[in-house]
Each structure stands twice: as C-alpha cells, then as structure tokens.
Chain A
Amino acid sequence: MTALDPRPSVIADRLKKIKKITAVTGWKGGIGKSVTASTLALLLTEKGFKTGLLDLDLTGASCHFILGSGKAFPREDMGLIPPFVHGVKFMSISFFSKGQGVPLRGANVTDAIIEMLAVTLWGELDHLVIDMPPGIGDAALDALKFFPKARILAVTTPSPVARDVLRRSLAVYRAMRVPVAGLVENMSPKGVPYDPRLDAAMGDPEKVLRTVFAKKLGFLTRKLF
C-alpha cells in the first residue's frame, strides 16, 4: 500500500458537536475579514452562544491581535483544547509562531490545516466562526472541504475592484453549492461605516464591542444568530 495519512480520518469527529459554522470570506486583502470574523465571534459570545473562532489565514494571522489574546495558549488533554479569549474558544497558528512570520507554500498550508483540525478538540459549540484567508487558494479550498456544513459570510467594500472580485467569488460558491448566508459591505455608509475608533480598540474586546462597527455588524448579521 502507499503511505496513508491518518489525520483526516478524525476531522469530522472533531467538528460533530458544532451546530453552525460561518466562514468569513473575501477574496481581496485588507477589506476587514479578520475584524469582521473576530467581532462576529465576540458578538455571538455576548449573546450567550458557545462560540469558537478559528483563524485559518495561516500566513497572515491577525485575530490574536484583534482579540488581544496575550499569553493564552491551548491546553493539552488528549489533543489541544483551545483557550478562552474573552469568552471565545480561539485557535490560531499564532500560538505556535512566536510572533514570527509563517512562510508557507500551498502544500505546507494544507498540512498545517489538517494537523490543526485533527488535534483541536472544540467540544460543544453553538457557533464556529472561521477567518478565511483571502482568495480561493489551498487554505480556502481545504476549509470548504473539511467544513461541509459551513456557510459563507462574504465581506467586501464599496470599491469597484472589490465588488468585481466579490461577484466572481459568489459565482464560484454557487457552483460549489456552498451556501452564502450574508454579505457585509465594509467601510460603506450603506453597510458597516468606517469607524475611526476601531483601530484604537484593537486588542481590547470590550472596546471593540462598543464601536459603531460592532453595533452595525451585529445588526446586519442578526439573522445568522
């Protein structure tokens, strides 16, 4: 027989007690995916839902910075138990990178994602929010493969370039039969307006939750809860 990678065999088991999975996507960089994913996880937690947040943007992880995860670290107990950060069960490659860059090619990204999914014990969750990497490369395709129950929350901006990319992304999700649960137009008076207080709130979940950004995001995504 050829070599057999055993790790994928347990991934579905690791996720079976999660009721709803929301993948926050957007194919352009810098449009606010990570802030949207992190804030959504905080809002869900504030509403009393058992919530997890998985940062799958391995080469550009930033949810730990937004949440101010500090010295939080997974606990070993028959696997890795994600730590609670402001009430959110949080898993990220940032726990293991020592603040350094993570230069990975596609095959390495896939291997790292499989490793994390195989050993992370989420337990029971009402919601898991995934901060997806930009685009539809290896990491995003892996996520859609390993999270067949996931629905998409697409993030865009009023920029015509971002909207054009959004149009193409929605067509791909439709072709892949991945449900799109919602759309957030970030930095837009029609959607979530630019909030100058947001930058100053980074690293402090209490402050993030008090921003106009969080209030508007909570209103726009209320049907996802």
Chain B
Amino acid sequence: MYHLAMHEWALAESVIKAAAEHAAERKMRRVSEVAVVFGELQAIDKEIFPFAMKELAKKHPLMAAARFKIIDEPAAFRCRACSAEFDLKRFRKESDEAEFIHFVPEMAHSFIKCPSCKSPDFEITAGRGVYIRHIKGSK
C-alpha cells in the first residue's frame, strides 16, 4: 500500500506519542486538537502525514478524538558569515538533494549556500521540519 512505504509514518508516530505524553502529564482526559507545524524545508507529504496521524491516534484513548490542525511554516535562513537573510525560493535543488533534505533537513548545509557570500554556515531560523505548536484538550 502506497501509504505504508513512506518514512513520514515514523515522524507521525512521534507526534502522537509526544502529544499523548504531554496530555497525560497535564491530566487531560481527552485531546481535542493538536496543531502540527510542517516546515517548508523538510517538504513533508501533506496527504500521508495527516492520514498517518489519524490512523495512529486511534490506538491512544486520549488521542482518538483529536483533530489535527496543519500549519505551514515557510523556511527562512540567516547567514552567520554575512548576516544576509534568505528563503528557499531562489534555490533549485536536484531531486535527490530534495529527498536527502526531506530525510535529514540539516543536509541543507551541504546543498544550499548563502546567496550573498556563498557560505554554508547559515542558521535555519524557521521552517526546518515537524513540531507541535499546541495541544488542546479537556480535563
């Protein structure tokens, strides 16, 4: 099955587990909403990831009724050498480079250079990968 093949499942599993642990620590009885940020750099599949979260949530009583809100976060970079700020739009990555960044976003440092000074020493200030912005639920 197409959905089973993608590595997004491993990250979706981490979202469900972390949200369930967070809710349990705060003595929530059910989680109603989890806001998940998708950083542009990692290019997470927007069909598979929500599907995977919904499927995996069914196994956690706390999470079974949760709604998943997806928030797209554009990638932003700041060069540590010359302080230039830049985004992803001007870069044309080879398809294999995009795949490698998809698996490990830090590989951007191997394939992307500051457009002003060509340094690979830049900070990813936004839009790196997957994280949870908020978890809502009732006690």
Contact = CB atoms under 8 A, between A and B. Distances in A.
A120 B9 CA distance: 11
B29 to A, nearest CB: 18
Contacts of A121: 10
A111 B100 CA distance: 15
B58 interface: no
A112 B7 contact: no
B101 to A, nearest CB: 8
A102 B130 contact: no
Contacts of B17: 6, 9-10, 13
Interface stretch (A37-45, A93-101, A167-175, A178-186): A93-101
A109 to B, nearest CB: 8
Interface residues of A, number: 36
Contacts of B120: 101, 103
Contacts of B11: 6-7, 118-119
Interface stretch (A15-23, A73-81, A149-157): A73-81
Contact of A6 (B4, B103, B131): B131
Contacts of B107: 93, 96-97, 102
Interface residues of B, number: 38
A15 B22 CA distance: 22
A195 interface: no
B131 A3 contact: yes
B19 interface: yes
A101 B124 CA distance: 18
Interface of A: 1, 3-10, 13, 74, 76-80, 93, 95-98, 100-105, 108-109, 111-112, 115-116, 118-119, 121
Interface of B: 4-7, 9-11, 13-15, 17-19, 21-22, 37, 96-97, 100, 103-107, 109-111, 120-121, 124, 128-135
